[in-house]
Structure 1
Amino acid sequence: MRLDPGIHAELDARLAAVDTHLSTRYPGDRHGRQPVHTVYVPADRFHQNLVSEWGGLARAALETAPALPYPEHLHARVTAKLAAEPIEDLRIDFEDGYGIRADDEEDAAAEAAATALSAAERSTPFVGLRIKSMEAHTRRRSLRTLDVFLDRWFAGAAELPVNFVITLPKVSDPAQVAAFAAVCGRLDAAYGIALRFEIQIETPTAILGADGTATVARMITAADGRCTGLHYGTYDYSAACGIGAAYQSMEHPAADHAKAVMQVAAAGTGVRLSDGSTNVLPVGTDDRIAEAWALHARLVRRSLERGFYQGWDLHPAQLPTRFAATYAFFRDGAAAARDRLTAYLDRRDTGILDEPATARALAGFLLRGLRCGALDDDELGGFTEDRLAGL
């Protein structure tokens, strides 16, 4: 061997900064469950019985409307989900869904939201607020709403709900993210909490900056570890790109480009992705409901196939297709994933040369299917949740 043994220490010193950057900026996927959707409810329509109300309306839609565009065997699983946990992630909306109101009216709404959420007869695994943006004309109102909500919350409760998150909309520049992260630091100190937030990607400048860089990647850095997710805003982004209203969609090429950049920026960072929504609601005649359900189910499946495991729902009648499409996706692929993972671990030749990264993806697929309720323990061929998480 002719290589000087001292080369190791030399390389360690030379690459120390890179090693630190990679370990902190790219820690890998975040552990734990990811919700399959986020339900947005305008703040003035939120009340303490909302979760049960939405569950009842979703079950009624499933029972009285045309059949779901999925096999009948999923019906019982979806019905059970709608009864047990109709909403996985709830966002009380003070932005577009709520609009611009007088200050005293929004103050009252923020206090009422905190009171109703603390008194809610059913909790959701994930919950939070969407405040107004950090743009000049709304930032004061945005921060006031958050402060009023927190003040009322801690007047009657000791802790924020688990997985509480703020959604920051219409972010255009990393400086807005850094500024909001600094505000979160002030609120942390004031209330004894640790706030985290999601970034909504609704403007072209959030994807491509004037200097030619991928702005969204810089936003994750600017969040200083507080960013938990990137959420795509279908209609604001499409409109900002000049796309006509009739063609604005989650599957427009402009949407696919934006989401591909988001996906690359978030990869390995622990920041999760969420697709947007469709505004075609399943209401009206049976034919219109059937068409809207077919569209929603197809778009949910399309997002899942592209690695976006979460999306937005805006109406109770969208919940049946959200869960049916999600369950069908994981159930359709479960047997192959389970068999390939077993073969990989057993070092069996199946004609498919899987590598460690693929094995991790197979385990992740099964784990997501189990955690969202699409799969049961006895369908995993002996794999437990702990073992899959370990893989």
Structure 2
Amino acid sequence: MKLSIPGNDQARLLDTLGAANRKFQQTYTGDRPDRQPVHTVYGGANLFKADTCVKMGEIALKSLQTYAPNFAVLARVLQLDGHEHLPQREADIMALMIKLEKMPEAARRQEPAWLAYTVYNKIVRKLHTEPVEDFRIDFEDGFGNRPDEEEDATAVTAAQELAKGMQEGTVSPFIGIRIKPFTEDLKHRGVRTLDIFLTTLLDATGGVLPANFVVMLPKVTIPEQVSTLVRLFELLEQTHGLPAGALKMETMVEATQIVMDEEGRNPLMRIIKAGEGRCIAAHFGTYDYTASCGITAKYQTMGHPVCDFAHHMTKVALAGTGIFLSDGATNVMPVGPHRGEQLTIAQQLENREAVHNAWRIGFGHTMHSLINGFYQGWDLNPAQLPMRYAATYNFFLSSYEDAVLRLRTFVARAAISTLTKDIFDDAATGQGLLNFFLKAMNCGAIAEEEALATGLTLEEIRSRSFYRILEGRRRK
């Protein structure tokens, strides 16, 4: 067969292209398959104790059991699939629960009550075992501007409480602090708190950081704020004998300038690159961002269209980079207006309606985030935790059967592309499908064994890499 392009010229051109391709791949590495927490709970640093996360779980469970004593109540409040088929009378609900408990899982999945029953039980289990996945000890909005002496003292006590929690095993699996922003008026305070907190913590733990520890830098508007924190991290690591790169950070998308700079460009990628590999996540600040857009307080909600614009701009800038993205918080708390033990029937009803209304709002916001590809959000009150998990479990479980079919077909064919039902999957979708199951397993929506329905082995699933799975299968 005769070719027209000289071999040397072709090699030279393709080598040049190869260098460009590899540079692109270094930036756009694809979704990171590591565990991403489904939420971050922010709490004032002055209130943080070693057992804060444990107590939050207790409060959350009490709220759930008070205002949704069984799965049927929760299903009706949230309008979960199949809720219209559930009984109303408590005796009938109890009879149905006993029936479902005795059923094999395969048979139970055929029941209209399966989704609501499973979601509720998983929420209860989660609140017992791991109520908080990620906690941020907050020295910014949750703490406020206080005298230097008070913030210094709080940085010490909060670090000591964290060290105690590490020793007692009561710390959430992801944890960190939020310092004050590196704006001109607050940069000194932010650095001082960071230094005091980390010095106290490392002295108390013998130089050991908690697992998945991160520093949140809020109100970032320019790359220099991030690069300055990187240089400070280096000094702290050298001083305390930490491995290079041990300290990680997050940034916040909470000002219009981080979405569009003075030259009309989206600066998010430059801000992430300023982190030199230490910036692992970008979190959305709903209320600061809406305020920066001139939205009045009454309308500063996660459902405002300006939030979706910021989300899409963030996705466009950072998709495929491995940076975790988090949505913001719902500011309607599921807490009744009446307190105390001796409440009238009318007051109890008012409490229930207030809580249920807040549940519906929080559930809707979280579902909206998940549908739009934001698998993490903020919670501000322990009573919000049940709805965080309700939405998360509902999202994954209601999509489980379809995702199983798609991934099983895709893996079986191990081809460049495949048509499953009416959805066209190309090779890049494979990792996304695998990530669905990894995220579902990480949050407890499904067990590892349930992912085996995809046709993958546990070893393949734990590899967390669709590329490795295909490579392994093609070698066989």
Q: TM-score range by the shorter chain?
A: over 0.9
Aligned position for 1:27: 29
Computed over aligned residues only, the root mean square deviation of the Cα atoms, in angstroms, reads 1.6
**d(CA) in 2 for partners of 1:135, 1:64:** 44
147, 163, 166: which one pairs with 2:215? Answer: 166
Judging changes above 3 Å, is the alpha-carbon distance between structure 1 residues 362 and 20 closer, same or farther for their aligned structure 2 residues? Answer: closer
Aligned position for 2:239: 190
Judging changes above 3 Å, is the alpha-carbon distance between structure 1 residues 103 and 255 closer, same or farther for their aligned structure 2 residues? Answer: same
Aligned position for 1:335: 401
Task: Report the 3-state secondary structure (helix = DSSP H, G, I; strand = E; otherwise coil) of the residue aligned with 1:6.
Answer: helix
Name whichever of 4-13 and 238-247 sits farther off.
Answer: 4-13
Q: With the length of structure 1 as denominator, give the TM-score of the two structures.
A: 0.96
> Is 2:175–2:212's contact at 8 Å kept on the other side of the alignment?
yes
378, 381, 385: which one pairs with 1:315? Answer: 381
> Is 2:219–2:254's contact at 8 Å kept on the other side of the alignment?
yes
Aligned position for 2:204: 156
Matches within 5 A, 1:289-328: 289-328=355-394
Aligned position for 1:383: 456
**d(CA) in 2 for partners of 1:356, 1:15:** 22
Note the C-alpha offset of 1:346. 2.3
Aligned position for 1:277: 329
Quick check: 1:77 aligned with 2:95?
Answer: no
> Is 1:273–1:309's contact at 8 Å kept on the other side of the alignment?
yes
Q: Which ranges of structure 1 fall in alignment gaps of 5 or more residues? A: none
Q: What letter corresponds to residue 65 of structure 1 in structure 2?
A: Y
Q: Can you list the C-alpha shifts for 1:99-138, whole angstroms capped at 9, x where unaligned?
A: 1111111111111111101111312110000000000111
> Is 1:367–1:385's contact at 8 Å kept on the other side of the alignment?
no
**d(CA) in 1 for partners of 2:404, 2:22:** 35
Q: What letter corresponds to residue 456 of structure 2 in structure 1?
A: F
Task: Report the 3-state secondary structure (helix = DSSP H, G, I; strand = E; otherwise coil) of the residue aligned with 2:396.
Answer: helix
Matches within 5 A, 1:365-380: 365-380=436-451
Aligned position for 1:175: 224
Note the C-alpha offset of 1:163. 0.7
Aligned position for 2:352: 286
Q: Can you list the C-alpha shifts for 1:24-54, whole angstroms capped at 9, x where unaligned?
A: 3222222321000000010000011111110
Q: With the length of structure 2 as denominator, give the TM-score of the two structures.
A: 0.79
Matched residue pairs, number?
391
Q: What letter corresponds to residue 150 of structure 1 in structure 2?
A: L
Q: What letter corresponds to residue 132 of structure 1 in structure 2?
A: K
Aligned position for 2:158: 113
Aligned position for 2:280: 228
> Is 1:55–1:82's contact at 8 Å kept on the other side of the alignment?
yes
Matches within 5 A, 1:92-131: 92-120=137-165, 121=168, 122-131=170-179
Note the C-alpha offset of 1:337. 0.6
Judging changes above 3 Å, is the alpha-carbon distance between structure 1 residues 17 and 345 closer, same or farther for their aligned structure 2 residues? Answer: closer
**d(CA) in 2 for partners of 1:350, 1:183:** 51
Q: Can you list the C-alpha shifts for 1:319-357, whole angstroms capped at 9, x where unaligned?
A: 000011101100011111111111122238644442112
**d(CA) in 2 for partners of 1:295, 1:192:** 47
**d(CA) in 1 for partners of 2:127, 2:229:** 36
Quick check: 1:144 aligned with 2:217?
Answer: no
Q: Can you list the C-alpha shifts for 1:129-188, whole angstroms capped at 9, x where unaligned?
A: 000000011110101101001111121213101110000000111121122222222222
> Is 1:25–1:221's contact at 8 Å kept on the other side of the alignment?
no
